[in-house]
């Protein structure tokens, strides 16, 4: 079945993660996404290798599967002219250069909108297109740091630490995709595209909207995570078991007594300090100590059995191999086995979105550098002789 965006063409001039992952999501939705890379070198994330002996890139594969590959040097007048021709037949342009770079090459929104009023021009940056830091370059770690996320992670009295995933890039990519989809919907009513701007810092602030609102209301930093969340206590955190770790997300008030019985402390049902509505920090700290001691006495599997059937929200702390081994993750399409054009199967991260009438489908592989260059330029009306000339001049 055709995807929801099967009639949409995207020019993905992004690099690394933030822009390309947004384009990959649109590709999963059925869009024809053209990955544009500088000739010879390509996207720098291609060189984040699996290991010194394995020159594949997980980052490039994850963010560019299902796309067609075109090499094109946008810094040259000829390359910029080819891009403008491609843009006349495109619906979306995605980039995550520093603000002003595409404009300097004659590829800004105003220029492309004159050629194609329906174009949706979507730009992702680190600090946003305005303000004193607009021209600064950055990447995921800068977004985590400048957006305040790192200050919330870890334990009181210890150095801050970033998240072990490119979370600022991922959140930025989702915001970029959301803006593009809204702009395409608005175009159906207004007949005109528009400019979209998102940033790593803006995405991090949005992702912490509740915590930032707490700070806006009180003037205070909520605090460090300390194995849980600074604004939820005491049964909200990660606790050690006899053989691993388990996350507890509170028991429903009506299930509190059953939870205490399962914990091995039925006598605490009469102690006001275990009341879910008790807001005394000293009571929270005391009860957290009880929880830590009790939960170390059984295995993780034992606690899952003890909490089964109770209105207690919990989850084992799993590593990546654990998650990949979960049948439910495959049944829900969060991982998938897909076949490439040569019939070779690949295990890939699937899509987290399910659509009943226009199902999403992850691509099997990312394109080789410039793999579809000739094909795409022929579609744009260039003759083979012109294409060969571009290649000799280093434009493609």
∠ CA(54), CA(57), CA(62), 5° rounding?
A: 140
Question: If 0-12 CB within 10 Å is exposed, 13-18 middle and 19+ buried, where does residue 175 land?
Answer: buried
Distance from the first to the final alpha carbon of the chain: 34
Helix axes 200-207, 209-218, angle to 10 degrees: 80
Query: Cβ neighbours of residue 293 under 8 Å, at least 6 residues apart?
Result: none
Query: Cβ neighbours of residue 30 under 8 Å, at least 6 residues apart?
Result: 2, 3, 4, 5, 6, 8, 358, 360, 361
Q: Quick count: other Cβ atoms within 10 Å of Cβ 354?
A: 10
Select from 27, 35, 22, 30 the least CA-distant residue to 4: 30
- Mark whether 54 is an active-site residue: no
Cα–Cα distances (Å) from 173 to 63, 81, 201, 226, 365, in that order, read 10, 27, 12, 28, 20
Torsion angle of the four alpha carbons 64, 70, 76, 78, in this order, in degrees rounded to the nearest 10 = -150
Which candidate in 169, 243, 280, 340 is catalytic?
169
Is beta strand 245-251 parallel, antiparallel or unpaired with respect to 232-240? antiparallel
224, 155 in Cβ contact below 8 A?
yes
DSSP state of 137: -
Q: State the Cα–Cα distance between residues 304 and 315, nearest whole angstrom.
A: 8
Is beta strand 92-95 parallel, antiparallel or unpaired with respect to 9-12? parallel
15, 43 in Cβ contact below 8 A?
yes
State the catalytic residues: 169
């Amino acid at each position: 079945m055709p995807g929801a965006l099967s009639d949409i063409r995207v020019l993905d001039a992004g690099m690394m993660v933030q822009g390309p992952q947004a384009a990959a999501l649109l590709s999963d939705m059925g869009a024809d996404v053209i990955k544009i890379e500088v000739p010879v070198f390509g996207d720098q994330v291609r060189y984040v290798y699996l290991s010194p002996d394995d020159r594949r890139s997980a980052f490039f594969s994850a963010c560019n599967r299902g796309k067609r590959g075109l090499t094109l040097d946008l810094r040259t007048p000829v390359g910029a002219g080819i891009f403008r021709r491609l843009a006349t037949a495109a619906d979306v342009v995605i980039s995550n250069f520093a603000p002003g770079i595409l404009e300097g090459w004659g590829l800004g929104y105003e220029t492309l909108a004159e050629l194609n009023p329906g174009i949706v021009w979507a730009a992702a940056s680190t600090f946003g297109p305005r303000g004193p830091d607009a021209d600064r370059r950055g990447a995921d770690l800068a977004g985590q740091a400048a957006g305040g996320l790192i200050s919330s992670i870890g334990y009181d009295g210890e150095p801050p630490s970033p998240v072990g995933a490119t979370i600022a890039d991922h959140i930025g990519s989702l915001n970029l995709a959301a803006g593009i989809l809204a702009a395409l919907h608005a175009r159906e009513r207004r007949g005109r595209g528009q400019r979209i701007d998102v940033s790593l810092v803006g995405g991090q602030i949005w992702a912490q909207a509740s915590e930032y609102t707490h700070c806006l209301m009180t003037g205070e930093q909520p605090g460090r995570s300390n194995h849980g969340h600074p604004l939820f206590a005491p049964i909200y955190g990660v606790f050690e078991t006899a053989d691993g770790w388990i996350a507890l997300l509170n028991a429903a008030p009506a299930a509190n007594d059953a939870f205490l019985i399962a914990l091995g402390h039925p006598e605490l049902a009469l102690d006001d300090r275990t009341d879910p509505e008790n807001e005394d920090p000293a009571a929270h700290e005391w009860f957290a100590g009880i929880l830590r001691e009790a939960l170390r006495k059984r295995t993780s599997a034992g606690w899952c059995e003890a909490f089964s059937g109770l209105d207690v929200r919990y989850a084992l702390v799993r590593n990546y191999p654990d998650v990949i081994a979960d049948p439910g993750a495959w049944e829900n399409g969060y991982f998938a086995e897909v076949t490439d054009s040569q019939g070779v199967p690949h295990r890939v991260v699937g899509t987290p979105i399910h659509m009943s009438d226009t199902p999403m489908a992850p691509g099997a592989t990312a394109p080789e550098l410039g793999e579809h260059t000739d094909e795409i330029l022929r579609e744009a009306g260039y003759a083979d002789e012109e294409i060969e000339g571009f290649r000799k001049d280093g434009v493609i």
